[in-house]
């Protein structure tokens, strides 16, 4: 019966801890700030709180004498937070780059049922019908601000010497007007009817031989790089050329993969969809480019985030055991001091709080150190990946303030668990035994 009670008590404690950690990790900062304020008021205005503050100050003052053991906790938690923040920064950087590629006033049209441009094929007749939609903006001469485009994967040597796959996008002359944020930073635009390339600065950084004036072979043809552009989004990982030349080189005929179009107003997307649905010749789907690229980033962003949390959780278990060992040793070395405090009237609660605060202080230092290292090493670090619907995509790690805050919450959660059991042990030490054995 006693064994069953211990098992049930252990399961109950596990459930309570799991619930507490879930609330702690997922609570917004105002809630946690409120809890911290209430705790500070308890320490300032109650007898037990003042006792806890006194014991905590004594313990913190002796940390320099236990620098070796304390550093185990700090370094272990710093490693957990550093790895966690770095992996989450990769997911955040990828999501930000892809989702930042669109806008509410620009639409993309694909063949019905196509989840990405590489899977879409539309005929010239369909493209002409799409461009006549009244919701598409016109230039001063009445031409629709729409660009029928084709996307293919091209094999290129990467900057590290390995073979890679780059996105070659064939565009019309209207592509520049459809994307006004895209800027040419070196060289010139390609000329219609010639095998010339304008490359994104992300692609130039990722692949070898993409400087203006260089020649390379794509589709068994020689192409010349004539310019470099920047856009601050996923387009920077692409190479652009005349759509007719790309289609003839890769034997795509007059078909295109997509149509990008500027709308008269950002809210015209529903009317634009209705116009396309009313045309029996068209079996297409339209969306804003913001919505399309946001969907493209969802799957991989979730996978990267899950990987980060799983890896961080595994490392956190090791850090928790390190904290447990350190704090149990600390409690054992301070057994006489704790027993003396209990003997002169200090209650068990202040002792529990003091030990846990000491552990969480070390955890906070480790969390801040890990976050700082992740920011210094990985913020702005350039990586590339192969994503659904596009070829190799270059993006930068993004260590944001929200990720640093998330890493600090993980550190404090580790410190809470690592200090809880040693704290309970300290509070339950028999006073006479502790004084006799010290």
Q: How far is CA 366 from CA 319, 388, 411, in A?
A: 11, 37, 7
pLDDT in tens, 308-349: 888 887 887 887 777 777 777 776 666 666 667 666 666 778
pLDDT in tens, 156-206: 888 777 777 888 999 998 999 998 888 999 999 999 999 999 999 888 888
Q: Is the pLDDT of residue 274 over 90?
A: yes
Strands 238-242 and 163-171: parallel
Cβ-count burial 366-384 (b if 16+ within 10 Å, e if not): bbbbbbbbbbeebbeeeeb
d(CA 319, CA 428): 25
pLDDT in tens, 71-114: 888 888 898 899 889 888 888 888 777 767 778 889 999 998 88
Q: With left for phi above 0 and alpha for psi between -120 and 50, is residue 232 left, alpha or beta?
A: left
Strands (E), 271-339: 284-288
CB contact at 8 A, 175 and 240: yes
Go through the chain and tell me how many residues it has: 438
Reference 413, options 319, 289, 294; nearest CA is 319
423 is written with which tokens?
Answer: 């704290």
Classify 10 as helix, strand or coil.
helix
Q: Is the pLDDT of residue 386 over 60?
A: no
Q: Which helix (H) or strand (E) holds 194?
A: none
Mean pLDDT of the region 212-240:
88
Q: Average per-residue pLDDT in the chain? A: 83
d(CA 157, CA 159): 7
C-alpha 129 chain-centroid distance: 40
């Amino acid at each position: 019966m006693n064994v069953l009670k211990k098992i049930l008590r252990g399961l109950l404690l596990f459930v309570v801890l799991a619930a507490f950690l879930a609330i702690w990790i997922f609570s917004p900062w105002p809630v946690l700030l409120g809890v911290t304020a209430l705790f500070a008021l308890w320490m300032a205005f109650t007898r037990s709180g003042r006792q806890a503050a006194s014991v905590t100050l004594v313990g913190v003052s002796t940390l320099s004498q236990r620098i070796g053991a304390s550093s185990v906790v700090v370094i272990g938690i710093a490693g957990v937070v550093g790895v966690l923040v770095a992996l989450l920064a990769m997911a955040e950087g990828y999501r930000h780059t892809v989702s930042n590629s669109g806008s509410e006033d620009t639409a993309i049209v694909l063949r019905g049922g196509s989840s990405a441009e590489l899977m879409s094929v539309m005929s010239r007749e369909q493209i002409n019908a799409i461009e006549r939609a009244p919701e598409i903006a016109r230039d001063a001469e009445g031409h629709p601000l729409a660009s029928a485009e084709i996307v293919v994967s091209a094999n290129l040597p990467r900057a590290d010497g390995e073979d890679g796959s780059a996105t070659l996008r064939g565009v019309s002359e209207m592509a520049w007007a459809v994307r006004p944020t895209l800027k040419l930073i070196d060289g010139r635009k390609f000329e219609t009817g010639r095998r010339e390339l304008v490359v994104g600065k992300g692609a130039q950084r990722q692949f070898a031989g993409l400087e203006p004036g260089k020649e390379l072979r794509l589709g068994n043809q020689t192409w010349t790089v004539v310019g470099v552009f920047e856009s601050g989004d996923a387009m920077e990982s692409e190479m652009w050329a005349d759509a007719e030349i790309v289609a003839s080189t890769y034997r795509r005929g007059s078909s295109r993969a997509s149509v990008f179009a500027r709308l008269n107003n950002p809210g015209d997307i529903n009317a634009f969809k209705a116009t396309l649905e009313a045309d029996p010749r068209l079996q297409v789907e339209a969306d804003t480019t913001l919505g399309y690229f946001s969907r493209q980033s969802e799957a991989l962003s979730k996978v990267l985030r899950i990987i980060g949390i799983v890896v961080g959780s595994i490392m956190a278990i090791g850090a928790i055991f390190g904290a447990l060992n350190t704090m149990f040793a600390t409690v054992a070395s301070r057994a006489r001091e704790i027993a003396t405090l209990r003997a002169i009237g200090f209650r068990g609660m202040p002792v529990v709080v003091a030990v846990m605060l000491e552990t969480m202080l070390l955890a906070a230092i480790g969390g801040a150190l890990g976050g700082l290292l992740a920011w210094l090493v990985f913020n702005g670090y350039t990586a590339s990946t192969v994503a659904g619907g596009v070829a190799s995509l270059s993006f930068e790690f993004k260590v944001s303030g929200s990720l640093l805050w998330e890493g600090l919450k993980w550190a404090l959660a580790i410190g809470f668990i690592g200090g809880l059991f040693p704290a309970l042990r300290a509070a339950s030490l028999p006073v006479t035994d502790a004084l006799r054995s010290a």
